[in-house]
Amino acid sequence: MSDHNSIEHPEQAGPDSGTLKKIGIGAAVVALAVVGVGVASRISATNELRETAADASVPTVAVVQPTVNGEGNDLVLPGNVQAYNSAAIYARTNGYVRRWLADIGDRVRAGQPLAMLDAPDLDQQVAAAQADYQTALANQRLAETTSKRWNTMLAQDAVSRQEADEKAGDLAARTAVSNAALANVKRLKAQQGFTRLAAPFDGVVTSRSAQIGALVVSGNAAAQPLFTVSDIHRMRIYVRVPQGYSASVRPGMGATLTLPEYPGRSFAATLTSSSGAVDAQSGAVLVQLQAENPDGALKPGAFAQVSFKVGAGQGNGVTLPGSAILYSNDGPSVAVVGADNRVTLKTVAIARDEGATVQIASGLSPNDRIVDTPPDAIRTGDTVKVQASAPAAGKGATHAR
């Protein structure tokens, strides 16, 4: 009965085996598709991660190109300004400051008194020395009279030659004692003259430590000078020139001074002499310049920037930022980026280290692309990404150190 009903009503019967197979195959295909999509997504993510990691491993750097100073530049060096003549005035005798007659900034003439000292002990020594001299002089005169008398008696054979010679010898001894006493008086009077401190030449008083009533002790190594007098009508400027440029500066060449207290103003100077020797510690040659100072604008002890007009330096005169130099046990080097963005380390010779910039004597071409601020771990053959070209090293005046 049931079979008969199923035949009569086939729509009420369940799916046949073919339909089930199709459904199973479709489900398998869907599952495989889902798995394939997942695997492909994972592979794509892995590849993207590898590419990201590879990109992150390649450093991004900025590059600069060297600047060629073909026409040369100004060699600017620090200088120390000193007076043409300067004298520290010390007391040559012990005493007390009674008066001081000149203060700092005063213009004084040669021989003008600066201070007066009281030296009562020295005054007493002078009085005693004069008394000793008078005593010695009296003894000398007596010995002279006696010697003359004995010579007269010797002519009359009243005394022997020996006795006359003894009186002559006594006169010579008394004369020597008198001369020694006179020399002592002159010495003490000369010291007495040192109680008046005077200017040794025309100039300006640049320091004063004398105070009224202060005790002054001569010969004290720790004592300060009572006055300092400086001749500032003409100034001396001392500059240490790096050895690499010592051949470019010569006596007679001109230079320009600039001082921080006079912005926009420059002073002309002339190189007058050179030490002709390289200092072992600084590696520089000391040179002296002189500059006229009619208005007193240049002050002793001042700091100045001294600008020399020199050539392009040694070699090709290529200038780089100081940050582009790598320093190692093998010496200074730079990282040059090639057309394929691969790095090559080149050893260079530095002509002058100017702080912000460095002048290279040899080892570079003006067309080289140099890595600015390269990492310490950079090596030849490394690949880099060039970010942008930094501004070229500045032209014109540079400051050496």
Structural domain boundaries in the chain: 1-36, 61-71+315-399, 87-198, 234-310
Those residues of the chain that have pLDDT short of 70 are: 1-18, 20, 38-40, 44-57, 69-73, 311-317, 352, 361-363, 388-401
Give the per-residue pLDDT at 55: 52
Give the per-residue pLDDT at 346: 83
Chain segment 139-159, per-residue pLDDT in tens: 999 999 998 888 888 888 888
Give the per-residue pLDDT at 387: 75
Give the per-residue pLDDT at 27: 73
Rounded alpha-carbon distances, angstroms, from residue 38 to 27, 31, 32, 43, 63: 16, 11, 10, 9, 44
The topology under which CATH files domain 234-310 is Elongation Factor Tu (Ef-tu); domain 3 (2.40.30)
Say if CB 336 and CB 32 are below 8 A apart: no
**Which are the contacts of 256, defined by CB distance < 8 A and separation ≥ 6?**
266, 267, 268, 269, 306, 307
Give the per-residue pLDDT at 49: 58
Give the per-residue pLDDT at 312: 46
Give the per-residue pLDDT at 46: 61
Chain segment 84-119, per-residue pLDDT in tens: 999 999 988 889 999 999 999 999 999 999 999 999
Give the per-residue pLDDT at 313: 45
**CATH architecture for the domain at 87-198:** Orthogonal Bundle (1.10)
Give the per-residue pLDDT at 266: 93
Bridge-based pairing of strands 73-89 and 398-399 is parallel
Q: Report the phi/psi class of residue 344: left, alpha or beta, with left for phi > 0 and alpha for psi in -120 to 50.
A: beta
CATH topology match: 61-71+315-399 vs 87-198: no
**CATH architecture for the domain at 61-71+315-399:** Beta Barrel (2.40)
